[in-house]
């Protein structure tokens, strides 16, 4: 049983990690993790809804 | 010279004419006389491409996208060709261990010879656990890469001043690069930054061997030395008290001043009105939206709410820069100046409501 870790996954930004468990040449289990957190939901609390787009449009610029 | 930036550009199909146009445009952005164009051209003809390590922390990759969409002339090529982008997570081919190796090889083999570019803020709360790349905390990677860099450039408001992740209540205690590594960091803020300012900084560095003159916030003066409000094409409407009062009203259709709709141009320093975006096509105010002061520290709170009128417009002269007047509304400008501004603003409001009455229905 082997475990493969690919981190960073590039070309979609860098903040993604994939772990895969391999048994007999087959992937039997896998985990994906976003490895960056900013808390934009928390930042938006209490703000004017009309301003929300300016923040949430910055979640991803790709 | 083989191996030079110029040679590289020629091999990628950029013509001599386009190359010189690029040199002229960059000289103009830098505020240099056209007599400097030959010096810029000569530097790019002789110098090898500097190695660049581009790191992503708490960001949206908007600044990378901004650069990838740079255009003047076919600058998507130039910007990517005047530098040797040795590590950039969004566009590099290797992933995982191979990507980590690229970074490691560059910072060890080219120690003291690479330019480090940072995109995104660095979280410091709970030991910096809110951003990992390749299993490493961004705060550690940032310090490691900065230690061997010949120049550190922060692009976008997040890397410069914390930006969106640092907006109240700043859940991850995000900070700009300067607050993490100290020393000289050249800041090219904006949300996103304007790619032409980035190109101009790199060309300046290659031509003169130094970074351009900076203000106290680490921003190059050629790009952030002037107030948007003073260079805005809608400024005559401000002076005449012609304001947009409602989205889509007559004033909005006629391109009047957006101050009443919340425009933060009077506190924002950047060259948007001059160089604009997308090959000089437009910029937010020209498109009819108020400025949100995206190159200003803490703009997500200091310029907030974005659709509410600034309480006062600081009275500033044409030659003022951020260091001379402080940071607009947030700064305590001299009482006399403030009073002067308030009187003028009140006068304008009066004139404005008069013209509104006349201008509508």
Contact B164 A50 (CB under 8 A): no
What confidence tier does A34 reach under pLDDT thresholds 50, 70, 90? very high
Chain A nearest C-alpha distance from B124 (Å) = 11
Pick the residue with more confidence: B47 or B279?
B47
Between A51 and B49, name the one with better pLDDT: A51
In this prediction, residue B148 carries a pLDDT of 96
Least trusted range by pLDDT, from A24-33, B21-30, B186-195, B213-222: B21-30
Domains B5-224 and B228-302 share a fold: no
Chain A residues with CB under 8 Å of B131 CB are: 15, 35-37
Kindly tell me the burial class for residue B31, based on how many C-beta atoms sit within 10 Å of its own C-beta (0-12, 13-18, 19 or more). Answer: middle
Residues of A whose CB is below 8 A from B305: 47-48, 50-51
Q: Read off the pLDDT of residues B187-230 as tens digits, 9 standing for 90 and up.
A: 999 999 998 899 899 899 989 999 999 999 999 999 999 999 99
* Sequence ranges of the domains in chain B: 5-224, 228-302, 324-361
- The pLDDT-based confidence of B78 (bands split at 50, 70, 90) is low
Give percent above pLDDT 90 in chain B.
64
pLDDT of residue B333: 38
Fold adopted by B228-302: Cytochrome-c3 Hydrogenase; Chain A, domain 2 (4.10.480)
> Any idea which residue has 């985990």 for tokens?
A31
For a pLDDT cut of 70, what percent of chain B falls above it?
83
Q: What is the average pLDDT across A13-33?
A: 92
Taking alpha carbons only, the member of B259, B261, B245 closest to residue B355 is: B245
Residue B79 binned pLDDT confidence (cut-offs 50, 70, 90): low
Instruction: Say whether pLDDT at B357 is over 80.
Output: no
pLDDT band at B166 (very low <50, low <70, confident <90, very high): very high
pLDDT at B321: 58
Which chain A residue shows the shortest CA-CA distance from B175? A38
pTM reported for the whole predicted model: 0.86
The fold of the B5-224 domain, in CATH, is Rossmann fold (3.40.50)
Closest CA to A37 of B172, B239, B219: B172
Q: Report pLDDT digits (tens) over B315-350.
A: 544 445 566 554 444 444 344 344 444 444 555 445
Q: Over 70: is that where the pLDDT of B289 sits? A: yes
Instruction: State the count of interchain CB pairs (< 8 A) between A and B.
Output: 121
Residue B359 has pLDDT above 80, yes or no: no
Q: Tell me, what's the pLDDT at B332?
A: 41
Please give the pLDDT value at position B116. Answer: 97
Is a pLDDT exceeding 80 seen at residue B358? no
Mean pLDDT, chain A, integer:
93
Q: What is the pLDDT of residues B83-115, one digit of tens each?
A: 888 999 988 889 999 999 999 999 999 999 999
Residue A11 with chain B: CB contacts under 8 Å? 89-93, 95
Measured between beta carbons, the chain A residues lying within 8 angstroms of B171 are: 38-39, 42-43
Residue A62: pLDDT band with limits 50, 70, 90: confident
pLDDT attached to residue B125: 98
Closest to B9 measured CA to CA, from B196, B203, B192, B188: B203
Interface of B with A in 1-60 (CB under 8 A): 56-60
Task: Note the pLDDT of residue B74.
Answer: 52
């Amino acid at each position: 049983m082997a475990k493969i870790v690919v981190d960073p996954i590039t070309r979609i930004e860098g903040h993604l990690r994939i772990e895969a468990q391999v048994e007999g040449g087959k992937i039997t289990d896998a985990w994906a993790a976003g490895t960056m957190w900013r808390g934009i939901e928390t930042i938006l609390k209490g703000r004017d809804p009309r301003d929300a787009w300016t923040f949430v449009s910055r979640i991803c610029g790709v | 010279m083989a191996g030079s930036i110029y040679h590289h550009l020629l091999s990628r199909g950029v013509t001599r004419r386009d190359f010189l146009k690029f040199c002229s445009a960059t000289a103009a952005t830098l505020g240099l006389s056209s007599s400097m164009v030959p010096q810029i051209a000569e530097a790019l003809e002789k110098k090898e491409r500097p190695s660049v390590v581009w790191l992503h922390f708490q960001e949206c990759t908007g600044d990378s996208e901004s650069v990838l969409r740079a255009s003047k002339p076919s600058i998507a090529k130039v910007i990517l060709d005047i530098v040797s982008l040795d590590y950039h997570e969004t566009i590099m081919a290797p992933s995982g261990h191979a990507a980590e190796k690229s970074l490691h090889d560059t910072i060890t083999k080219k120690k003291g010879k690479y330019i480090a570019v940072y995109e995104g803020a660095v979280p410091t709360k709970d030991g910096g656990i809110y951003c990992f790349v390749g299993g490493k905390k961004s705060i550690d990677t940032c310090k490691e890469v900065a230690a061997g860099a010949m120049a550190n450039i922060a692009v976008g408001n997040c890397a410069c001043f914390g930006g969106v992740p640092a907006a109240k209540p700043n859940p991850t205690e995000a900070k700009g690069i300067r607050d993490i590594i100290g020393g000289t960091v050249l800041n090219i803020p904006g949300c996103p930054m304007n790619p032409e300012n980035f190109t101009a900084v790199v060309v300046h560095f290659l031509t003169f061997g130094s970074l351009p003159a900076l203000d106290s916030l680490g921003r190059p003066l050629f790009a952030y030395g002037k107030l948007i409000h003073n260079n805005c094409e809608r400024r005559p409407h401000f002076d005449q008290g012609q304001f947009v009062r409602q989205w889509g009203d007559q004033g909005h259709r006629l391109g009047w001043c957006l101050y009443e709709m919340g425009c933060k141009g009077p506190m924002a320093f950047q060259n948007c009105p001059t160089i604009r975006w997308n090959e000089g096509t437009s910029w937010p105010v020209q498109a009819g939206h108020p400025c949100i002061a995206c190159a200003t520290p803490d703009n997500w709170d200091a310029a907030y709410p974005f659709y509410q009128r600034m309480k006062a417009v600081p009275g500033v002269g044409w030659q003022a820069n951020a260091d001379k007047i402080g940071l607009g509304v947030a700064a305590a400008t001299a009482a006399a100046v403030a009073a002067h501004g308030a009187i003028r603003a009140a006068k304008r409001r009066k004139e404005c409501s008069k013209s509104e009455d006349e201008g509508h229905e």
